[in-house]
Amino acid sequence: ETGVTQTPRHLVMGMTNKKSLKCEQHLGHNAMYWYKQSAKKPLELMFVYSLEERVENNSVPSRFSPECPNSSHLFLHLHTLQPEDSALYLCASSQDYTSGGNNEQFFGPGTRLTVL
Partner 1 sequence: SQQGEEDPQALSIQEGENATMNCSYKTSINNLQWYRQNSGRGLVHLILIRSNEREKHSGRLRVTLDTSKKSSSLLITASRAADTASYFCPHRGGADGLTFGKGTHLIIQP
Residues forming the site for partner 1 (CB under 8 A): 2, 4, 33, 35, 40-45, 48, 56, 88, 90, 92, 97-110, 112
Name the minimum Å distance from CB 79 to partner 1: 24
Residue 6 or 78: which CB sits closer to partner 1?
6
Backbone angles phi, psi at 35, to 5 degrees: -125, 155
Name the minimum Å distance from CB 42 to partner 1: 5
Phi-psi region of 84 (alpha: psi -120 to 50; beta: other; left: phi over 0): alpha
Residue 66 or 110: which CB sits closer to partner 1?
110
